[in-house]
Amino acid sequence: MEKVDEIIQAKWMITCEEKKVLENHSLVIDKNLIKDILPIELAAQKYSATHIEHFATHVVLPGFINTHTHLAMNYFRGLADDLALMDWLNNYIWPAEKKWVSQEFVHDASLFAIAEMIRGGSICFNDMYFFLQQTAKAVDISGIRGAIGMTVINVPTAWAKNPDEYLAKGMEFFQEYKNHPRILTTIAPHGPYTVDDEHLLQIKKIAEDNNLKINMHVHETKDEIQHSLKNYQMRPLARLKKLGLVSPRLIAIHACQLNEEDIKILTDGKPQIVHCPESNMKLASGTCPVARLHSLGLNIALGTDGAASNNDLDMVGEMRSAAFLTKHTTENPATQPALDTIYMATINGAKALGLENITGSLKKGKSADFIAINLDDIETRPLYHADSQVVYAASRNQVSDVWVAGVRLLKKREFTTLDEEAIKTKARNWRNKIMS
């Protein structure tokens, strides 16, 4: 008998390593890593553990990787909805950001957003915002894993006044956090219409020199395409290709507005794609042709986008919307079956961030990042297929437990690292300030 730290016995298990649902398996955890996955009885013969827990009505799976967020925008959730995109940005979101975004705001709002993510089963996120150290502090406090992008944008904010200052502050952050066990730094040019060629080339060099992913909104809206045609006489992806940015290092967020030429550029360059179906539908941005890009060999991850546009950080709901939208747009109910959707929300996110050797699936040697979803509710009974139930019937509140790097961050719906009431009170206080 080998001694280990923890054995998690689960009625159902989805590893995202093999395309099936395991029944009655144990996840064996030691020193914050996954040590083994095997049938419950075999695990009991082979390992003894200080802590053994049985999840009789749960499915255990790698937690979700929310591959596109603007965490601190959580404080603007529902501030303005049902508006045309430029009205929404010009008259509500940008003025609110200009007035309110500060160190304290980003700290409090990021922690609030991380609380929502943990409660919804996300074990990792990929963020783009300002005051990066504050988001990092929220990662430290909470215990979640996260990629934090050093935003570069040709718009002044309280964080930086021009692209050079954004870059300088970003690199400071990178140097400070490059050895953090749960924080990955990316470089995040905001979008083709907000960063000029000179800075994109500089960003490319920094990314290559430091082996950083480039996290960028790409082909989100028709306006973005028009802007590029007018200012650069070519579409944004053609421009990014010309600048040498379209490679597996690029994380292309949205990819809604694609013509055949664009799809060819993506197929040749193989960037990571992040699909944000709810944001794209709600803002009427268009739709990423997920099924087609998948068939062309591209890796497609899933993100919620910021809560001001979506309006939540709920990856369970986002999976359902993603599946529905693909079936709807392909006019084929057989496309994107449930397990593919779960892969999109887990291992594909890890691949997009280059973290696939650390997280994103249940595999020997990977970090003990995983969640349990309780399928015993009326809404998820009777149960024929756990994968279908997760994608088509479960709700975020059925996430019962969340572990990141072997630490249990959510235990039977209760936070272990965060003070829920304090977080809610701060959100209320900020709301009152913003409304006053």
> What does the binding site for a second copy look like in residue numbers (CB under 8 A)?
75, 77-85, 88, 112, 115-116, 119-120, 278, 280-284, 286-287, 307, 310-312, 314, 317, 320-321, 323-325, 327-328, 330-334, 336-338, 376, 378-379, 381-385, 388-389, 392-393, 395-397, 420, 423-424, 427-428, 430-431, 434-435
Q: Given the complex with a second copy, which of 307 and 350 has the nearer CB atom?
A: 307
Q: Given the complex with a second copy, which of 120 and 163 has the nearer CB atom?
A: 120
Which of 37, 82, 30 has the alpha carbon at shortest distance from 281? 82
Q: Given the complex with a second copy, which of 364 and 381 has the nearer CB atom?
A: 381
The answer to whether 271 and 246 have CB atoms below 8 angstroms apart is yes
Distance CA 142, CA 108 (A): 12
Q: Given the complex with a second copy, which of 285 and 367 has the nearer CB atom?
A: 285
Q: Given the complex with a second copy, which of 28 and 276 has the nearer CB atom?
A: 276
Instruction: State both tokens at 411.
Output: 């235990």
In this structure, the dihedral spanned by the alpha carbons of residues 291, 295, 300 and 305, taken in order and rounded to 10 degrees, is -20
Q: Which residue has tokens 């504050």?
A: 134
Minimum Å distance from CB 164 to a second copy?
A: 34
155, 222, 420 from 229: Cα distances, Å: 21, 11, 48
17, 58, 345, 361, 399 from 366: Cα distances, Å: 12, 21, 17, 8, 21
Q: Given the complex with a second copy, which of 51 and 428 has the nearer CB atom?
A: 428
In this structure, the dihedral spanned by the alpha carbons of residues 300, 301, 302 and 303, taken in order and rounded to 10 degrees, is -120
Distance CA 109, CA 127 (A): 13
Q: Given the complex with a second copy, which of 78 and 244 has the nearer CB atom?
A: 78
Q: Given the complex with a second copy, which of 202 and 348 has the nearer CB atom?
A: 348
Q: Given the complex with a second copy, which of 78 and 156 has the nearer CB atom?
A: 78
Question: Please, which residues bridge with residue 37 across strands?
Answer: 27
Minimum Å distance from CB 13 to a second copy?
A: 18
Which of 101, 77, 129, 96 has the alpha carbon at shortest distance from 428? 77
Distance CA 3, CA 313 (A): 38
| Cβ neighbourhood burial of 406 (10 Å; 0-12, 13-18, 19+) | middle
Minimum Å distance from CB 138 to a second copy?
A: 14
- Residue 67, classed as helix, strand or coil, is strand
- Which residue type is seen at 188? A
Minimum Å distance from CB 338 to a second copy?
A: 6
Minimum Å distance from CB 288 to a second copy?
A: 12
Minimum Å distance from CB 217 to a second copy?
A: 17
Minimum Å distance from CB 343 to a second copy?
A: 14
Minimum Å distance from CB 287 to a second copy?
A: 7
Kindly report the number of other CB atoms within 10 A of residue 194's CB atom.
Answer: 18
Minimum Å distance from CB 170 to a second copy?
A: 28
Instruction: State both tokens at 294.
Output: 């998948």
Minimum Å distance from CB 86 to a second copy?
A: 10
Instruction: State both tokens at 186.
Output: 């990316």
Q: Given the complex with a second copy, which of 32 and 395 has the nearer CB atom?
A: 395
Phi, psi dihedrals of residue 70, rounded to the nearest 5° = -130, 80
196, 287, 379 from 395: Cα distances, Å: 42, 24, 9
104, 150, 374 from 161: Cα distances, Å: 19, 14, 47
